[in-house]
Every structure is written in C-alpha cells, then in structure tokens.
Amino acid sequence: MDIPAMIPELMSALPLTLAITFTALIVGFCLALIAATLRIRRLPVISIFADLYVSYARSVPVVLQLFVAFYGLPLLVALLGAPDFFSPTVAAMVGLSLYHGGYLSEVIRPAYLAVDRGQHDAADSLGYTFRQKMTRIVGPQAVHIALPGYGNSLIYLTHNVALVMYIGAADVMATAHLIMERSYNQYQFETYLVLAVIYSLMCLVAWLIVRLFELRSPMYAPQAKQLKQVAMPSV
Amino acid sequence: MFDFEILVQDAQEILGAVPFTLLMAFMIFIFSAILGSLFALVEHQRVPVLREFVFAYKVAFKGIPMVIVIFLSYYGLPPVIQFLASLIGVKFNGHATPNWVILVIAVTACIAAFQAEVVKGALNSFDTGQADAARSLGYTSGQLFRRVLFPQVVIAAIPDLTNSIMVIMKALSLGFAIEVVDIFAQSQLTAALNFYYLEAFVIAVVIYMVIAYAVTQAADRMERALRVWI
C-alpha cells in the first residue's frame, strides 16, 4: 500500500468534512449565545429548556447525539411536512451544531460571568446602553477570557467530526474505510496512522488560528478573574 | 412513529449494560489517574529527559481523535503485546486479547494526557508556604505528603476529576467500533433487533444524563464534606 497514492483520495473528502465543521461552528455559536444568554438571564420557563439542552449536549456521547439527530430528524421533518429534505450529511451538521452549541455555551457563560461586576456597574453609571456596554466594555474582556476555551472546543469539534462516518456521511474517515476495504483490510494500521496525521494537522491549523486571535486580542484584562482552564476532551 | 411501549421494553435491556460500562469507566479512571499523576509529577519536579517525553506524549494524545487512537490500538496492540511477551519468554497469543482490554488501554492512554493537566493544576493550587511551614516543624517528605499536601490537592482536584469520569463514560461509547458492548452499543444492538432506533437512543440519552447528574451530585456532596476550612 503506498501511502502517497492514498492521500489525494482522502483529500477529496476534505471539503465535505470542512463543510460539516464550518456549519457546526457557525450554527453552534449562535445556539451557544442563545443558551448562555438564557442561562444568565433566567427567564421563567425557557431557561429550564436551555439548562436541559446544555446538559444534554455535555453529558451524552457525541456518537449518540449524532444517532439521535440521524433517527430523530426524519420524524421532525415529517412533522413539518417536508419529507425529502434529509441526508446523513444534514444529520451530521445538525447533530454537531447541537453538540458544539451546548459545549460552547459553557465556555461563553463563565467567561461573561468572570468579567468583574464593577465593570458592569461603571458602564451603567456612565449611562451606556446594553449594546454599548457589550461592544465596548464587557464584550472585549469576555472574548479575551473565552478565547482559550474556545480554542479547545474548536479542536474537540474537529476531533468529533471523525465520528460522522457512523451515520453514513462520506467524510475523511469513511473514505479511509473504503480504501482499506479495497485493499482487503491488510493495511488498517498504516491507514489509521495517515488519518491520525491528517487530523493532527487539522487540529494544528485550528489551534494556530485561535492562537493568532489570542495574540492579536488587544484586550488586557487584569481585573477579570482568570478562569481555571483544565482542558478535558469531549467525546 | 414514536412507540412508548417499546421504551419500557428497551430500557430494561439497555440498563443491563450499565454495570459493565461503569466498571470499565472506574478501571480507566484509576489507571489514568495514576498515569496522569506520574506525568504531572515529572513536570512538577522538572525531571530532565522525561519532561520532554511527557510533553510529546501530551501533544500526540491530545491532537488525535479518540476513535483513531482506539482503532490504532485495536490493530497495533496485539502484535506489540505478543512481541513484549516473547521478549520475556512467555508464549502468549496477543490476538486473543479481549477487545474490552484494548479499549481500556486505549482510553486510558488518551485520558492520562488530560489527567496530567488536572493533577498539575491541583498541585499548582497548593500553597508552598504550607510546605515550608511543615518542613520547619520537622515533617519528613512522606509526612508532608500524607498529612498536608495530599488531602488538599485531592479536594482541589475533585471537580476536574468528576469531569474526567464523565468524559471516560462518554469515551467508552466509541468502543462499539471495536465491538465492546457498553450502554451505547447495547442501545444499538437493541434497536437493530426491533428497528425502533430513536426509542433505544432516547433511552440511552436518558441513562447518560441520569448518570451524569448522579456523579455530579455525589462529587459536590463529597467536596462539601471534605472541604473543612471554608
């Protein structure tokens, strides 16, 4: 098995993998903002749903979340009366968006809360509107605190995209399995090594991007309580 | 569509996989905590060559998705085990290693990299002034560790250790790829028999959430009980 011949074929599956990742990134971010806001604000009934959603996303294995999306979506889509709009890729996008949103909301919420209370008070006393306060004072500090955690969650998302194969999306892992089966499963170890390198590179790129933002972040927030960041993988 | 009678039926079957999953999780937790503590100690004491090794280990095992580590050990470990056994003159068929042992080894290897971080953080939270005080009172290193350092470091680490138990529980769900039957794999098997997929997975979701809740509550209680000075 020559590894160089394998790489272009694996790379051909990369766009789909990246498409799933980016969808999850963007949709997940919006979900995380909503969930974090609801959990900070504590609206009567909706906040309970937000709590439930976050604990679902954090305590259930990602494979299981993908399967729930894969088998639950047709049901939901049928209820809405659009039977054909559905594929493993869409299920993967939905499942990973939900997972990423729940995980990220627990990065955003503590970061927001870690900004010193006095900063809010100062902004309020100067007559800032909520929007001004968020964009000029609290936001930049919270972003600064949240960036390392965001980097982690980005890397975990990249890792977990390796799982979409199990619901039948044709990503890099699935392509690798095709290649292995074509060579009668002789070179599994080598193929997985190549996969490991590919995923490591993807994580490296993700990490470099976040690092760039961290270095360029103009905010220096000495007053903000530094969050204890113990990275734990998310499976 | 969604059948509630199937739910009860499935629940009994899927609950049957809970003890084995918890047992595996517990084993992995103990092993990875020991391995992680060793790593953390190496970093804390700044042991010359081992330090670089630990760093490389952490980079490798944090960068590679866990599924891939599991598959790599599934295909790579048996020959390695056989080779190691032949080195010490034992005839052992490495390919007869049970899959769950391989899963435990693979997940332990992954989690240990993160456990090292947990232990390191806890060690850093320890006030060195207390060590100085103990030293000045003539404590030996063993006494210092047993009476001053360990009780505090353990409590500082409890929230993160709880977190890692949950991560291990979830990591075991990837074992279905190498045919280890845990909660998730059992729900898949159950669903494959009666074709009610969503029902089986909903049960599994509920079980995971209940376990997470129970573990968190237990850890909170323990922390509150052990933390005497606040």
Q: How confident is the model at residue B122 (pLDDT cuts 50, 70, 90)?
A: confident
Which pLDDT value is given to residue A174? 85
Q: How confident is the model at residue B11 (pLDDT cuts 50, 70, 90)?
A: confident
Q: How confident is the model at residue B218 (pLDDT cuts 50, 70, 90)?
A: very high
Tokens of B98: 């049970």
Q: Which of A4-8, B32-36, B117-121 has the least mean pLDDT?
A: A4-8
Which pLDDT value is given to residue A86? 74
Q: Which residues of A touch B180 (CB under 8 A)?
A: none
The residue-averaged pLDDT of A18-33 equals 93
Which pLDDT value is given to residue B229? 61
Which pLDDT value is given to residue A82? 67
The residue-averaged pLDDT of B202-218 equals 91
Whether pLDDT at A203 is above 50: yes
A77 Cβ partners below 8 Å, 6+ apart? A83, A85, A86
B204 in Cβ contact with B187 (< 8 Å): yes
Which pLDDT value is given to residue A221? 46
B215 — contact with chain A (CB < 8 Å)? no
Tokens of A158: 């990249």
Q: How confident is the model at residue B109 (pLDDT cuts 50, 70, 90)?
A: very high
Minimum Cα–Cα distance from A166: chain B residue: B177
Of B72, B164, B208, the CB nearest to A189: B72
Minimum Cα–Cα distance from A232: chain B residue: B114
Tens digits of residue pLDDT in A170-182? 888 888 888 888 8
The residue-averaged pLDDT of A113-126 equals 86
The residue-averaged pLDDT of A119-147 equals 86
User: Do B197 and A67 make contact, defined as CB atoms within 8 angstroms?
Assistant: yes
B72 — contact with chain A (CB < 8 Å)? yes
DSSP, res A138: I
Q: Which residues of A touch B160 (CB under 8 A)?
A: 230, 232
Whether pLDDT at B200 is above 50: yes
Which pLDDT value is given to residue A83? 63
Range 4-43 of A in CB contact (< 8 A) with B: none
A76 — contact with chain B (CB < 8 Å)? no
DSSP, res A133: I
The residue-averaged pLDDT of A188-195 equals 85
The residue-averaged pLDDT of B19-41 equals 93
Answer with the residue of higher pLDDT: A72 or B31. Answer: B31
Whether pLDDT at A55 is above 80: yes
Of A195, A203, A232, the CB nearest to B163: A232
Q: How confident is the model at residue A141 (pLDDT cuts 50, 70, 90)?
A: confident
* DSSP-assigned states of every residue in chain B: ---HHHHHHHHHHHHTTHHHHHHHHHHHHHHHHHHHHHHHHHHHHT-HHHHHHHHHHHHHHHHS-HHHHHHHHHHHHHHHHHHHHHHTT----GGGS-HHHHHHHHHHHHHHHHHHHHHHHHHHHS-HHHHHHHHHTT--HHHIIIIIIHHHHHHHHHHHHHHHHHHHHHHGGGGGGGT---HHHHHHHHHHHHS-HHHHHHHHHHHHHHHHHHHHHHHHHHHHHH----
The rounded distance, in Å, linking the Cα atoms of A42 and B159 is: 24
The residue-averaged pLDDT of A114-141 equals 86
User: Do A71 and B114 make contact, defined as CB atoms within 8 angstroms?
Assistant: no
Q: Which of A72-81, A164-173, A212-221, B110-119 has the least mean pLDDT?
A: A212-221
The rounded distance, in Å, linking the Cα atoms of A218 and B181 is: 50
For chains A and B, what is the number of CB pairs under 8 angstroms? 121
Of A78, A200, A234, the CB nearest to B63: A200
Whether pLDDT at A222 is above 60: no
Which pLDDT value is given to residue A136? 85
Minimum Cα–Cα distance from B124: chain A residue: A228
Which pLDDT value is given to residue A228? 55
Tokens of A162: 């390796």
Tens digits of residue pLDDT in B45-100? 888 889 999 989 988 888 888 888 999 999 888 888 888 888 887 777 778 888 99
| Mean pLDDT computed over every residue of chain B | 87
Whether pLDDT at A227 is above 60: no
Whether pLDDT at A224 is above 50: no
Tens digits of residue pLDDT in A145-161? 888 888 888 888 988 89
Answer with the residue of higher pLDDT: B174 or A76. Answer: B174
B176 — contact with chain A (CB < 8 Å)? yes
Tell me, what amino acid is at A235? Answer: V
User: With the C-alpha atoms ordered B149, B150, B151, B152, is the resulting torsion angle positive or negative?
Assistant: positive
Minimum Cα–Cα distance from B198: chain A residue: A71
Minimum Cα–Cα distance from A70: chain B residue: B198
The percentage of chain A sitting over the pLDDT mark of 90, rounded to a whole number, equals 22
Which pLDDT value is given to residue B214? 93
Q: Taking the mean position of all CA atoms in its chain, how far away is CA A196?
A: 20
Tokens of B37: 């503590």
B112 — contact with chain A (CB < 8 Å)? no
Which pLDDT value is given to residue A223? 44
